[in-house]
Amino acid sequence: MDPVVVGIIGLVVLLIALFMGLPVAYSMLIVGFVGLFFLRSFTAAFQFVGSDLFINFTSYTLSVAPMFALMGLLANHSGLGSNLFAFANKVVGRWRGGLAHATIGACAVFGAICGSMPATLVTFGSIAYPEMKTYGYDPKLSTGCIAAGAGLAILIPPSMMLIIYGIATEQSIGKLFMGGIFTGILLMVLYMITIAIILKRTPALAPDGVKYSIKECLRALRHGGIIEVIIVFIISLGGMFMGWFTPTESGAIGSFCMLVVTIIERKLKWENLKAALRETSKLAAMVFLMIAAASVYGRFFALTNIPVKLGTMVASLDVPAWCVMLVVLFIYLIMGCFIDSLAMILITVPIFYPIVVTTLEYDPIWFGVIIVLVVALGSLTPPVGVNVYILKGILKEVPMSVMFKGIIPFVFSIGVCMILLVAFPIIVTFLPNLMY
């Protein structure tokens, strides 16, 4: 059978398995093994699977994921989220809809520490929504800014999605982190502008803000443990930016410093420490298995020659590169409505990365950041809209239809951000180009 036909059949079977609810890692592993069996032999397929599983589960590079995850989970279990929200509210609470602005700002800072979208959702769904409900905020605005704000966690380093992309494409994780900083800040600002426009048109959605003195703001900053956490963030990522640490060393140092800070501040109980370690172990097992399975699937897909043939076809088209890029982003957008974000990156990178980076000669760091931005968009849009479903699990009293209405303005904000990144790639590439 022609390798291209085998590859297409394998891709279709993989998508069917995912829609049927089979775990992503097992789906890729099975399809990759069977595909290698058809294209090579049973012995070769067995050897490929065995070597990929062993190499990935013993990989030093992959340990960067649990290191940064542990840093974020320690911060999460120490109650940092509530302190960040209180501080952000005192800084921007003077504006109309100040709590909504504070939620966006706190999500950005918390995401810069934990790098996890679900953790950010759970934290601020439990903290910010009750506060906004007390002050009479409309549920559409409240849930919309929480669901959208959580997406900042996968853009601003240490983003787990950027780590996965970097490992899958063998790109510098440090440069990907730096590429995500300005993008995350840009999206945060666009979110805040969106909230201001919404409240300008419909002031009844949120009350007037409350003014706090500079003294109160400084007190919230000093007593919330926020300064210490910012120092940990600067040491960890700043050291990596300066070339002092590798990404894995940066994550390990960040985790250790975060542990020391939470112990000194007496904000971490023994039960919470055990919970953070347990959740880190589960996350590490999931990431390692998915990367190993994606490696097997990637080997199979490379043997089908589909990426090479697609690249040749794209190169022969008499259309500008940006037109092809828009088509690729549109495909990602559609897939993001149905497929889990981590699975989407691992499945599509073997297909689109050679086309975009090798054939069209786009910057691989820029491509990684814009893919993660599309993933953030897919986490909001139906029918999957994973952020909305997670938030619904926390806020059972709010109808899902209200939540989906609330995220619509923020979807347009992400669209504007994508247009700006396509028009001005330097937003992403400026900091990575400064790295050693």
Tens of pLDDT along the chain (436 residues) come to 678 888 888 888 887 887 777 777 888 888 888 888 888 888 888 888 888 888 778 777 777 778 877 877 777 777 666 677 777 777 776 777 788 888 888 888 877 777 677 777 777 787 788 888 887 888 888 888 888 888 888 888 877 788 888 888 888 888 888 888 889 899 999 999 999 899 888 888 887 767 777 777 777 666 656 677 777 777 877 777 777 877 778 878 888 888 887 777 777 778 878 888 888 888 778 778 877 887 888 788 778 877 777 767 776 777 787 888 888 888 777 776 666 677 777 778 878 888 888 888 889 999 999 988 888 887 787 766 777 777 887 788 888 888 888 888 998 999 899 889 988 989 998 888 877 5
What CA–CA distance (Å, rounded) separates 371 from 365? 10
Q: How many other C-beta atoms can be found within 10 angstroms of the C-beta atom of residue 246?
A: 16
Owning domain of residue 154: 3-434
Per the structure, the count of domains in the chain is 1
Query: Cα–chain-centroid distance for residue 84?
Result: 20
Report how far apart the first and last C-alpha atoms of the chain are (Å, whole number). Answer: 48
**From residue 44, how far is each of 7, 51, 132, 434 by CA, in Å?**
17, 11, 58, 43
Token digits of residue 376? 């953030």
Token digits of residue 184? 């995350």
Using alpha carbons only, what angle is made at residue 434 by residues 429 and 435, rounded to the nearest 5 degrees? 105
**From residue 34, how far is each of 5, 31, 46, 285 by CA, in Å?**
14, 5, 10, 23
> Dihedral sign, CA of 132, 136, 139, 142?
negative
The angle that helices 247-264 and 64-77 make with each other, rounded to 10 degrees, is 20
Residues in the chain: 436
